[in-house]
Amino acid sequence: MHLALFLIFGLLCIGGALNLLLQRHPINSALSLIVVMSSLSVLYLLLGAEFLALAQIIVYSGAIMVLFVFVIMLLNAGEEQRTHGSRAAYLAGIPGVLALFAVLASTFFTLRTNLGSARLGSFLVSTGDLSRVLFRNLLLPFEVTSVLILVAILGAVVLAGKEQ
C-alpha cells in the first residue's frame, strides 16, 4: 500500500515536472506545476509529515499557483517559440544530471538498510511541538525571514516599476 502510493505519486511528480518543461503554453506548464506540488504533498504525507503536506497544498498548490495562473491570464501570455537549446546544455547538462542521479541513487541504495524509514501516522506532530521548534529553537531564522520578504518586495518594486 505504502509502496504503491509512493510509486504512483512519485511517478506523477516526475511526469508533471517533465510536462512542465515540455509544454509550450505557459498555462499548461502552470497546471503541471500544480500536479507536481500536490503529488509532492502526498509524498510528504507518506513520510509522516502531515503538517508539511497540508501546508504544501494550502500554500503552494493553493495560494501561489492561483497567483501564477492569474498572472499568466492577465498577461495573456501566448505560446512560446521552441528553441533547440544550447549545445553546452546538451553536452554538459545531460551527463551532469545523469552523474548526479547516479551518485544519489547509489548512495541511497548503499545506505538503504541503515537509513530507516518513517511511515504515515507513525508519529503525530502536535501544534505544540511545531510551535516549540518554530518560535523557540528556530526563532531567529523565522524572524530573519521577514528581512528576506522585505528584500523580495523591494526587488519587485525596483524591477517592475516604471522609471519616471
Partner 1 sequence: MIPMTTITTSAIPVSPALRILPEILLTVTGVLVMLIESVLAPNTSRKPLGVMAILGTLAALAASLYQLQLPAGTAFFGTVQSDAFSVFFHLVIGGIVLVTLLVSLDYFEGHTSYVGEYYALILFGAVGMMLMTSSVELLMVFISLEISSISTYILAGYRKRSATSPEASIKYFLLGSFATAFFLYGIALCFGATGSTNIYDIAKGVASGASPLLLTVAFGMMLIGIGFKVSLAPFHVWTPDVYEGAPAPVVGLMSTAPKAAAFAVLLRIAYGAYGTMTHVWMPLIWMLAVLSMTIGNLGALTQHNVKRMLAYSSIAHAGYLLVAFTALAPMGIAAASFYTAAYAAMNVGAFAIISYLSGYDEARTNLGDYAGIARRHPMAAAALAVFLISLIGIPFTAGFFGKFYVFTAAINSGNAWLAILGLLNSGVAAFYYLRLLGQMYMLPQEAGLAPDTIRARPSFVLGVAILVIAVFALGIFPNSALRLARAGAATFNVQHRIAAAAFPVARFER
Contact flag: residue 86 with partner 1 (CB under 8 A) = no
Contact flag: residue 74 with partner 1 (CB under 8 A) = no
Among 54, 95, 125, 126, binds partner 1 (CB under 8 A): 125
Backbone φ and ψ for 78, nearest 5 degrees, come out as -90, -170
Which H or E element spans position 44?
Answer: helix 26-46
Taking the complex as a whole, the smallest distance from the CB of residue 113 to partner 1 amounts, in Å, to 11
Contact flag: residue 89 with partner 1 (CB under 8 A) = no
Among 81, 85, 115, 121, binds partner 1 (CB under 8 A): 115
Taking the complex as a whole, the smallest distance from the CB of residue 84 to partner 1 amounts, in Å, to 19
Contact flag: residue 70 with partner 1 (CB under 8 A) = no
DSSP conformation letters of 102-126: HHHHHHHHHTHHHH----TTSS---
Rounded to an integer, what distance in angstroms lies between the CA atom of residue 152 and that of residue 145? 11
Stretch of 24-32, 52-60, 66-74, 141-149 contacting partner 1, by CB under 8 A: 141-149
Rounded to an integer, what distance in angstroms lies between the CA atom of residue 41 and that of residue 62? 12
Q: Which of 50, 36, 39, 40 is nearest to 120 (CA)?
A: 50
Question: Can you read off the three cell numbers belonging to residue 133?
Answer: 521548534
Binding site for partner 1 (CB under 8 A): 103-104, 107, 110-111, 114-115, 118, 123, 125, 129, 133, 136-141, 144-145, 147-148, 150-152, 154-155, 157-159, 161, 163-164
